[in-house]
Structure 1
Amino acid sequence: MKKFFSLIILITSALRLSAQVSVEASIDSIQIFVGQQAHVTLTAVAKNQSKVEFPQFKPLQYITPGVEVLDTKEMEQQEADNGYVSKSVIYTLTSFDDTLYYLPPLTVKIDGQSYKSKSLALKVLTFEVDTTNVDQFFGPKDVQDNPFQWSDWSLSFWLSVLMLVLMALCYYLYLRMRDNKPIITHIRIVKRLLPHQKAMQEIEQIKADKMVASENSKEYYTKLTDTLRKYIQERYGFNAMEMTSSEIIAKLTATQDDTALSELRHLFLTADLVKFAKYSTLINENDMNLVNAIDFINQTKLENEPVEETVMPQLSEEDQRSQKARRILKSVIVAISVVCLSLFAYVVYTLYLLLN
């Protein structure tokens, strides 16, 4: 008996559950004129997680002979009671033959089980034409232009205005750049004197000024040692102008033999005595030191160095700012020109679509 009552309870629960699953079909208009449209709404009520499969029709497929399905639109599901949802599909129908059509039940599969809706009817009517009074019918109308709609043209209009503003700005920037004359710089290649040539020119000037026979020995030795210091600085690459005579000799000893420096050492010693100890020299001693200076230059000179020098231009801060401003103006003008061309192409394409 217990098993019998349990079976009764299970059957009752299954019937109650199946009773809550339903499929309904409705039509918005039971009669239409030829070529008009009617809408059939197919609704299925099932559990939220249930798999619901509605009938699928291709465009212009017949739902029944004489009635075509134009479109199928699935609606959003609606919440129902006790965890159930309502799902709907709308079928758009039309017909071109005037008669009464029987629309068969539509089958919906819910979790693999088929449920059928009720059948529907659709009456298609035709227009009655009074062929006895043909004067009341009018011939075909001429082609009429579509009414002007600002919404269709507004985007093209405002983009055209924006393009004109950008073109005016571009022209203004061009005038600014044209008025701001470009800075033309040239890289100069000049001939330079080699260190020994400069030194020999200064020694020749000392000779021309007859400083060897001058009573002012201090000025003579100052000129002569300064000439040698400049030559040594350019020839050997250390700052001889800021060094003492002994420091110069010590620096040169690392690169020259002592024999070549002995006469130079004597020359610097004599010059230091004249400049700082008020030592008096004779003319022949001055001549000998001048000859020693020339010999040192000839023994240490380098004649294979390049005699041409590239002089790079040095721009002032104002010129550099001017060049930077021109580069910025050029970049902005190019960017605005690209935007204007893009806007022009888009506006022309839009107008073509509107006029055709």
Structure 2
Amino acid sequence: MGTNAQVLVKASIDRDKILVGDSIVLTLDVRAPLGEDLSWFNLDTLPHFEFLDKGKIDTVEGVDGKKWVQQLVITSYDSGYWQIPILSMKVGGKTYYSDSLGVQVTYANADLSADYKDIKEIEDVPNTDTNYIPWIIGAVTLVAIVILVLLLYRKKKAIPVAVPVAVKLTPFEEAMQALEALRQKDLPHKGAIKEYYTGLNDILRVFVQRKLNIASREKTNEELIIALKKQRMHEEYFQALSDALRMADFVKFARYEPGIADNEKNFTIIETAIKTLNNIA
């Protein structure tokens, strides 16, 4: 730029329309003459947006001036059309401004009333575990008789009776029982919205970890969405599940309070997702 070089301040985004919870890359680009004092943008908050990552400020010097570039990853949990406001910074004691940038933030629509597509219906499997009950009762009775005989005739210490090990539930059975238990608690009507969505989230995470061997408890919801995208879910149901997980984040981190219909809808989405993943895994 040299001594006659101008100061250029520019802000840009990689896209201007996203779904709620999606990320945007905001790039700040400043060019000024060499030797000028610079005071960077104040990036504490952006109305309707949250910072996911603030990249470092990269600088490049040339014979005609100096260039500063910073990339910030932001997201929004509020649906609507929002403006990234004008940002100000100083070069050589003079204030310069970036342009404001508009972003449309929307929810994705999903028709949950449609039939399953390309997925087999759930088949009932006969439960054969109860066939062993008579044998267990007989074994316990025999042990009891032996202990009684030893106590009466030999005056010896009773032989401890081994406790049968409980049958472990399958991931699907465990998830269905947990969902029914959560429904019975009726948390939304008690005002415990955060506990309700945390419960839905945890039930799905435990199922995914046990059924799909995905370390879901160590992932954020956005990371979990990326991992589940590799499964053979129908796009419509995958998008609905993504929205439900993002809604759980809104409730936990943005103190969002969904309506009664949304609570029932997201319960159904999680339940449907577990059934779908159980069939295709």
Band the TM-score falls in, shorter-chain normalisation: 0.3 to 0.5
Larger of the two Rg values belongs to structure: 1
The normalised TM-score by structure 1 is: 0.32
The normalised TM-score by structure 2 is: 0.40
